[in-house]
Chain A
Amino acid sequence: MGRHQAVAKTYRRTQPVDWGRSVHRRRYMRRELTSVFLIAYALVLLFGLWRLSQGEAAFEAWRASLSHPLALLGHAAIFIAALYQTISWFQVMPRTLPDSQVKPASIMRAGWTAAAGVSVLVLALVVLGGGK
């Protein structure tokens, strides 16, 4: 960089050394980590959609691959991350609505109840639906 060139003096806040050990930091990192698992799941579905477009044999091969022990292990990890996402999303939500008149605990409970209700509905539609 030249001597007379302007240098951006962006303020960079330094983190205290023990921040990595704080309980808030760890909770935050767990929440952030769920993103990687959600991306992985979206890619699994996208790959399945691509195989579906290639016909029955390709789709059946993709479906069979889901039963591989590593695939099951991966999906178990994704499932835990997804549950964590559900729990933490509604835990954090009250803090994103600072002017809300509703109590934070009520927002959380409403969110979790909605997620449980939607889950039961989806499961019921998948098991009972189709009608063929």
Chain B
Amino acid sequence: MKRSNEPIIWLLFGAGGMLSALVGPVLVLITGLLVPLGLLSKDVMSYQRVLAFAQNPLGKLALLAVISLFLFHGVHRFVTTLNDYGVRGGHTTMAVFVGIAALLSLVTAGLLLGIGF
């Protein structure tokens, strides 16, 4: 019998939900509001500083975790909502959206590796 991939997908959904619940608001506040509005110094998001963060192995891990897990969490919720509205082919739709999230995670990992150490 073919094993279900549901536990893995659900684990990614849960991890993304937990991570976004813990750090979502503060990250959006910093990168999307405080720095662009000038309430925090622009140096917080200067090229040198963000580059150094993205070159640090732990920084890379943090960026990959946030981008990838937010995506996996988001698409899982989005597809279950579509199913609630009676969109047929739940498994196919889920496979497509989870596939997109996986692809974008690979792109993220590729960019992070390309930026170097």
Which residues does A use to contact B, with CB under 8 Å? 12, 29, 32, 34-36, 38-39, 41-46, 48-50, 52-53, 56, 59-60, 63, 66-67, 71-72, 74-76, 78-79, 82-83, 85-86, 89-90, 111, 114-115, 118-119, 122-123, 126-127, 130, 132
Contact = CB atoms under 8 A, between A and B. Distances in A.
Interface in B25-53: 25-33, 35-37, 40, 42, 44-45, 47-51
B22 A115 contact: yes
Contact of B81 (A32, A86, A127, A130): A32
Nearest to A117: B22
A46 B30 CA distance: 16
B36 A71 contact: yes
A46 B107 contact: yes
Given A49-B108, A85-B20, A76 B81 contact: no
A35 B49 contact: no
Main secondary structure of the interface of B (DSSP, over half): helix
Contacts of B54: 49, 52
Most chain-B CB neighbours within 10 Å: which of A29, A46, A74, A76? A46
Interface of B: 16-18, 20-33, 35-37, 40, 42, 44-45, 47-51, 54, 63, 66-68, 70-71, 73-78, 80-81, 84, 86, 104, 107-108, 111-112, 114-115
A66 B47 CA distance: 14
Contacts of A72: 32-33, 36-37
A111 B25 CA distance: 14
Contacts of A89: 17-18, 20-21
A78 B30 CA distance: 12
A62 B63 CA distance: 17
Contacts of A115: 21-22, 25
30 contacts: A32-B81, A35-B81, A38-B70, A39-B70, A39-B71, A39-B74, A42-B66, A42-B70, A42-B71, A46-B104, A49-B112, A53-B111, A56-B47, A63-B36, A66-B32, A66-B35, A71-B32, A72-B33, A75-B31, A75-B36, A82-B24, A82-B25, A82-B27, A86-B25, A115-B25, A118-B22, A119-B25, A119-B26, A122-B30, A130-B49
